[in-house]
Structure 1
Amino acid sequence: MLTKDGREIPIDDSAAPIRTDAGDIQGFVLVFRDVSERRQREKEQQRLLAILEETTDFVSIADAQGRTLYLNRAARNMLGLDEAEAQLDYSIPQGHPPEMARKMMEEVLPTAARTGIWSGETVLLHRDGRRIPVHQVVIAHKGNGGQVEYYSTIARDLTELKQSQAKERLAAKILESISEGIIVTDTNDIIVSTNPAFTAITGYSEEEAVGKRPSQLLSPDIDPARIENMWAVLRQTGQWRGELVSRRKNGEVYYEELSISAVKDESGVVTHYVGVQKDITERKKLEKQIQFMAYHDALTGLPNRIFFTDRLKQAIAAAKRNGQRLAVLFLDLDRFKFINDTLGHSIGDTLLKQAADRLAQCVRESDTVSRLGGDEFIILLYPIDGPAGAAQAAEKILAAFADPFELEGKAYTLSPSIGISLFPDDGDQVDRLIRHADTAMYQAKEKRNAYQFFRAGMNALTAERPTLENDLRRG
């Protein structure tokens, strides 16, 4: 029907004849009823059913006597039923082993009817006899008179979660609440619905989110090209999965794993998109921590030998291209072994950390200080102004170690012995530069608290020592 102001509204109409006493039709009575609200409710129901069909959780609806009215796709799969069988005369007891069926009818449903909800672990029965452990929530829906009209159930398969302790911890979190946030948008990418987990993750209530685009709320700085690519994949395949850096309502940045699926109506036309988001910030932090540990010394936090050799390799390549020079300083702490053996490893570890801090303060941001192990450190100076620049850096280190180390009210003196090799003078390969700096360090150690440049002929003096390059390869 078209209203006076031009609006179209859906209606139901009916007509009845008006007859005279003689039975002749004199006219008609037309009755029109606005069904806009009913149509809206039907659309909401269709949208909800579409979402329920896409969820991986078991969802069912049963009447007050336990007869099944609806099973979603996940529920039909868990029970081993096809869609046609699910629409036949099926009841709650049939979906459980005998002992659990009795519990459902004698305990679970009565408890839900009395308190409104029941939650706990149950067992479903597949048609092939397999028992499926699930966490199940049963909600009783009552009419105005207080009588139960129907029960709705949601259940999650716990089979895999029970296979390991880690999965049990994950199961416990899932049992407390569904942690994934859900965002439903229309085909124009406008949010029409969210769930409580979305609010918990982002800080935005559903009222604040509805009517806006997800990118407006969560990813205002995202590259528009990536948004366009995401929509291109969605339109082509109906699905998109990826990781995003998003922002909560309070401004905090977090990482999320987002999976988006298209929801289609009966005719195959896309009506909505459902996004499932998972906060993976802690996982990202752990990945960064693991990566850091792989390339850094656990005690001092300095780069380790793997990091150093890679950095030196890059510096050599850059120095060759640019016609520059670099220096490798191999450093050993005099008397450290005596202090460590007599005062204990705790004191020794603390001194190593303080020594690492002093070394880091002696170099530029472009340089690299690394701990190889024990009391041995190695430093890359790049770029460097030849021997003079390397000598200046070594003297700065000696001066930094001139002051005693304070620990638990006592002063400890440590001095470094430093060996120096230069590129390209002493070699143009990683192993050769490190070996020559190591060799020069042992010459400096004869004087203690000194530095020594590598010179040809030094190798003969240290020929009996195991080469560091073998240790580096093993490390």
Structure 2
Amino acid sequence: MNLSPMPLAVLVVDAAGIVTSWNKACEKLAGYGAAEIQGMPLLHIVEFADPPDAQPQLAARAEAESDAVLKCADGRRLPVRVMVAPRALEPGPASSFSVIVIPQPGQFPARYALIQDLPVADIVEALPCVFYVIDPSGHLLLWNRLLEEALEMPADELPTAKVEGFFDARDREVVVDNIRRAFEHGHSTHEAVLVGKHGKRTSLLFQCARTTLGNVPVVFGTGLDITVRKQAEHGLQVRERAIYSSLNAIVITRCEEHEHRIEYVNPAFERITGYTLAEIKGRDPRFMRLDGCDEDERQRIRMALKRNESVRAVLRNLRKNGEIFWNDLRIDPVVNLDGEISHFVGVINDITEARHYERRLHHLAHHDPLTGLANRTLLQERLRQALEGAAQKGTTLALAFLDLDNFKHINDHFGHDAGDAVLREVAQRLRAGMREDDLVARMGGDEFVLLLCDPTSRAQLADLVERIRLAIMAPLRVDGQEILPGTSIGVALFPDDGDTPEQMMRAADAAMYHAKTMGKNNVQFHSAELNQIVHAYLMLEANLGRAIRERELVLDYQPKVDLRSGRVVGAEALVRWRHPVEGTIPPDRFIPVAEETGLIVPLGEWVIEETCVALKSMAAHGLDDFVIAVNLSARQLRQRQFPERLGQTLRRYGVDPRRLELEVTESQLMDQPDEARDALAQLKALGVRLSIDDFGTGYSSLSHLQTFPVDYIKIDRSFLGDVGHDGHMVITRAIIALGHNLKLQVIAEGVETREQLAFLRAHDCDQMQGYYFSPALSRDALQDLLARDTRLPD
């Protein structure tokens, strides 16, 4: 730009006031040629209004405005305003000065009439931007009102202030560099923040250009207020940084003719999917879809995009490496300035781990942690679904309850780790024996359930369940020890035995209970008759505890007779249940129930207490050598505190331990022979007598038998059924001989005939008991028998 048409004369003078350069406006305004002005003292051209005797030096006029007269070549005297400014941006004494000569209003030559009529000042003031002119010293020569407002400074303060002072200290060096660049290279552009006198901050885009006023270089330009733009840019930068730094994957697509092409993805997208922006820019995001999956969700997305609506969906996609990941996707449209949908923004939340965690929680909530089988919750859900399906299709289904036999013994003898190993192995065997559509569940403890969908026939169902029972019976080894599991199985059928989950489970459970009462390790199907039996069994179980508490139980005593003298030397205590409604309930009905439920322990303690009362009473009647035998259960024998409690009971009643005999079965001893030996040794240390009951029915090892500290062995009644039977005679004689060889007395039980008695006497058996001599008697009847010294006839 050239300012020469403007009536703004600029001269450059040295420190002595000699003109060294000028601009064209100076020639036109004063009428001198270049040769005439060159080297002319300034005072020959400009006559200041100061009195002659008060003329200040040129340097003193710097940064000030003076009235003067311009002496023109044609003799005219033109009133002007003169401004003097040192020509340097650096501090220190100036070596030259710029002198700006501006005609007073109405003093322009005719050739400037048009310019004079042009309202330049109004135009500059009306500019929608800051306007400025800066001289080489870094001072303002001209400016407009917007600059004053931005700087919060009045006009009379601006000429004396350096431009660099209008900016933050940290920005000043850059601002000065840009002004110099404009002086040196003709132009520069930069952004900076003007700082007002009272702290106002205005962001401006400065456009600078160099020009000359005569031979005096100046920089002029504009400053466009970009505060709003900078604020918007800052907001965009924050949002862009947020998108860039987001943990969620973000993808922006561009809409073109109903197509959606990727325009941007953030680093999280690259991390989650494995694809970089360079690889997928311009592609449709659907390239990551997993074919055949989540079609309903994908259709929802397509319809929402077609309607230009937001949508949220959960679906599976493929990473670059082929892995499947779960994607919680939210898509929203982006409206441009014209109100049109130009882009869509998708936010991807990788929920793969959350889905896996949910599945693990669901699995834990529906499966047994030890075996991995379905648990009670899942069984009930599947059973309900299966029943509904069977009812709709008119098919059948079966529910089988399995309970492992003697599992407590496995835990007690081999340890709980071995018990867990057995449960896991049984679970595996059950899985192997089932069809794919069937369900195997563990109810807890040692109880398992089979849900068998649509069995082909009752016969095939029975065959399947029997094969499962046999598979469970197969030996397994745990830590080098062989374990032989067994199971009792109860089966219920739909619709015969029930049509609701509750009815089916009760029916199968009842059938399983019946299998237990039938001797265990067998399969029983449910029936109406069976339901009555099991109901009676459960009622018996419920009433037995009450019977113990309310003393409905009584003891009868079957006498034991010495076969040599015929004298009654002892008795076996036999428990009876006098039920208030059903009458007398025999032991073979309630003792197994007590064994199963654990009530045998309080029942056994009661029997010992009653026996001690009877022994004390007999001692009071002078019968201090009489021995009463009590049957000891396996549970009592395994209790570690039992010998100590027994000793306390004997002392409390003042009973001689030698008058109490404890009977244990052969199977109890051989079940855990080492533990049994230790328990018997502790009991023997108390002084009580010990006998092995039902001898000959188990599988005794003679090496074990001779180490047990027992006093008697009892021949099981089955070996006396027919003394004429050669097999029975041989076994009975062998048992008597074995007992005597081991220095044990031999007792025969269940003696009912004269022939049996004669056989026992002939083979030197020591004692007998049975109906041949006497049934079980009450305590009073027994004492009366003893008082009368009733003996076995010869």
**Relative to 1, partners in 2 of residues 1:156 and 1:450: Cα closer, same or farther, differing over 3 Å?**
farther
- Per-residue deviation, 1:435: 1.5
Quote the residue 2:247 is aligned against: 179
**Relative to 1, partners in 2 of residues 1:410 and 1:205: Cα closer, same or farther, differing over 3 Å?**
same
CA deviations on 1:333-352 (whole Å, 9 max, x unpaired) are 01111212343332222211
Quote the residue 2:269 is aligned against: 198
Q: Where does 1:10-25 land on structure 2 (aligned, <5 Å)?
A: none
Question: Which letter does structure 1 place at the counterpart of 2:251?
Answer: I
**Relative to 1, partners in 2 of residues 1:459 and 1:90: Cα closer, same or farther, differing over 3 Å?**
farther
Quote the residue 1:452 is aligned against: 524
- Per-residue deviation, 1:208: 0.9
CA deviations on 1:202-238 (whole Å, 9 max, x unpaired) are 1111111111100023455567775554244245464
CA distance in 1, matches of 2:296, 2:531: 58
Tell me the SS of whatever aligns to 2:430: helix
Quote the residue 2:366 is aligned against: 295
CA distance in 2, matches of 1:64, 1:238: 51
Quote the residue 2:429 is aligned against: 358
Would you say the 8 A contact 1:368–1:380 is kept in 2? Answer: yes
Quote the residue 2:608 is aligned against: none
- Per-residue deviation, 1:294: 2.1
Say what the alpha-carbon RMSD is for the aligned residues. 3.2
CA distance in 1, matches of 2:293, 2:451: 38
Question: Which letter does structure 2 place at the counterpart of 1:456?
Answer: A
CA deviations on 1:190-211 (whole Å, 9 max, x unpaired) are 1112122111111111111111
CA deviations on 1:295-351 (whole Å, 9 max, x unpaired) are 222221111122222322232333333332222111000111121234333222221
Tell me the SS of whatever aligns to 1:436: helix
CA distance in 2, matches of 1:435, 1:225: 42
Quote the residue 1:23 is aligned against: none
- Per-residue deviation, 1:466: 8.3
Tell me the SS of whatever aligns to 2:497: coil
- Per-residue deviation, 1:258: 1.3
**Relative to 1, partners in 2 of residues 1:437 and 1:269: Cα closer, same or farther, differing over 3 Å?**
same
**Relative to 1, partners in 2 of residues 1:423 and 1:224: Cα closer, same or farther, differing over 3 Å?**
closer
Q: Where does 1:306-345 land on structure 2 (aligned, <5 Å)?
A: 306-345=377-416
Tell me the SS of whatever aligns to 1:366: coil
CA deviations on 1:129-160 (whole Å, 9 max, x unpaired) are xxxxxxxxxxxxxxxxxxxxxx9668999xxx
CA deviations on 1:273-302 (whole Å, 9 max, x unpaired) are 221212110111111122222222222111
Question: Which letter does structure 1 place at the counterpart of 2:408?
Answer: K
Quote the residue 1:397 is aligned against: 468
Tell me the SS of whatever aligns to 2:528: coil
Quote the residue 1:465 is aligned against: 538
Would you say the 8 A contact 1:215–1:222 is kept in 2? Answer: no
**Relative to 1, partners in 2 of residues 1:177 and 1:342: Cα closer, same or farther, differing over 3 Å?**
farther
**Relative to 1, partners in 2 of residues 1:225 and 1:457: Cα closer, same or farther, differing over 3 Å?**
closer
**Relative to 1, partners in 2 of residues 1:216 and 1:405: Cα closer, same or farther, differing over 3 Å?**
same
Quote the residue 1:282 is aligned against: 353
**Relative to 1, partners in 2 of residues 1:90 and 1:364: Cα closer, same or farther, differing over 3 Å?**
farther
Question: Which letter does structure 2 place at the counterpart of 1:377?
Answer: F
With 213-222 and 417-426 compared, the bigger mean Cα shift is at 213-222
- The correspondence for 1:212, drawn from 260, 277, 283, is 283
CA distance in 2, matches of 1:403, 1:217: 52
Report percent identity of matched pairs: 39
Would you say the 8 A contact 1:218–1:248 is kept in 2? Answer: no
CA distance in 1, matches of 2:417, 2:169: 70
CA distance in 2, matches of 1:155, 1:212: 22
- Per-residue deviation, 1:184: 1.4
CA distance in 2, matches of 1:432, 1:331: 17
Would you say the 8 A contact 2:297–2:313 is kept in 1? Answer: no
Quote the residue 1:259 is aligned against: 330
**Relative to 1, partners in 2 of residues 1:339 and 1:177: Cα closer, same or farther, differing over 3 Å?**
farther
CA distance in 1, matches of 2:367, 2:446: 15
Tell me the SS of whatever aligns to 1:457: helix
Q: Where does 1:48-447 land on structure 2 (aligned, <5 Å)?
A: 89=201, 178-187=246-255, 188-219=259-290, 227=298, 229-234=300-305, 236=307, 238-446=309-517, 447=519
Tell me the SS of whatever aligns to 2:531: helix
Quote the residue 1:118 is aligned against: none
CA distance in 2, matches of 1:404, 1:335: 15
Tell me the SS of whatever aligns to 1:401: helix
With 346-355 and 214-223 compared, the bigger mean Cα shift is at 214-223
- Per-residue deviation, 1:269: 2.0
CA distance in 1, matches of 2:399, 2:341: 63
CA distance in 1, matches of 2:323, 2:441: 34
Tell me the SS of whatever aligns to 2:377: helix
TM-score normalised to structure 2 length: 0.36
**Relative to 1, partners in 2 of residues 1:319 and 1:258: Cα closer, same or farther, differing over 3 Å?**
closer
Structure 2, unaligned stretches of length 5 or more? 1-167, 172-199, 204-235, 541-794
Tell me the SS of whatever aligns to 1:190: strand
Would you say the 8 A contact 1:209–1:217 is kept in 2? Answer: no
CA distance in 2, matches of 1:283, 1:255: 9
**Relative to 1, partners in 2 of residues 1:267 and 1:342: Cα closer, same or farther, differing over 3 Å?**
same
**Relative to 1, partners in 2 of residues 1:338 and 1:155: Cα closer, same or farther, differing over 3 Å?**
farther
Would you say the 8 A contact 2:514–2:534 is kept in 1? Answer: no
Question: Which letter does structure 1 place at the counterpart of 2:415?
Answer: G
CA distance in 2, matches of 1:331, 1:90: 86
Question: Which letter does structure 2 place at the counterpart of 1:454?
Answer: H
- Per-residue deviation, 1:428: 2.6
Tell me the SS of whatever aligns to 2:514: helix
CA distance in 2, matches of 1:379, 1:181: 47
Would you say the 8 A contact 2:326–2:352 is kept in 1? Answer: yes
CA distance in 1, matches of 2:325, 2:285: 15
Question: Which letter does structure 1 place at the counterpart of 2:449?
Answer: I
**Relative to 1, partners in 2 of residues 1:374 and 1:64: Cα closer, same or farther, differing over 3 Å?**
farther
Quote the residue 1:58 is aligned against: none
TM-score normalised to structure 1 length: 0.59
Would you say the 8 A contact 1:387–1:422 is kept in 2? Answer: no
Would you say the 8 A contact 1:258–1:277 is kept in 2? Answer: yes
Tell me the SS of whatever aligns to 1:431: helix
CA deviations on 1:89-114 (whole Å, 9 max, x unpaired) are 499xxxxxxxxxxxxxxxxxxxxxxx
With 414-423 and 214-223 compared, the bigger mean Cα shift is at 214-223
Question: Which letter does structure 2 place at the counterpart of 1:178?
Answer: S
Quote the residue 1:52 is aligned against: none
**Relative to 1, partners in 2 of residues 1:323 and 1:229: Cα closer, same or farther, differing over 3 Å?**
closer
CA distance in 2, matches of 1:206, 1:377: 56
Would you say the 8 A contact 1:326–1:386 is kept in 2? Answer: no
**Relative to 1, partners in 2 of residues 1:210 and 1:398: Cα closer, same or farther, differing over 3 Å?**
same
- Per-residue deviation, 1:266: 2.2
CA distance in 2, matches of 1:225, 1:419: 45
CA distance in 1, matches of 2:297, 2:512: 53
- Per-residue deviation, 1:407: 1.8
**Relative to 1, partners in 2 of residues 1:268 and 1:152: Cα closer, same or farther, differing over 3 Å?**
closer
CA deviations on 1:241-264 (whole Å, 9 max, x unpaired) are 221210011111111111222222
**Relative to 1, partners in 2 of residues 1:177 and 1:301: Cα closer, same or farther, differing over 3 Å?**
farther
Q: Where does 1:26-45 land on structure 2 (aligned, <5 Å)?
A: none
CA distance in 2, matches of 1:222, 1:325: 34
**Relative to 1, partners in 2 of residues 1:461 and 1:236: Cα closer, same or farther, differing over 3 Å?**
same
Question: Which letter does structure 1 place at the counterpart of 2:301?
Answer: M
**Relative to 1, partners in 2 of residues 1:444 and 1:65: Cα closer, same or farther, differing over 3 Å?**
farther
CA distance in 2, matches of 1:153, 1:317: 58
Question: Across the two proteins, how many residue pairs are aligned to each other?
Answer: 308
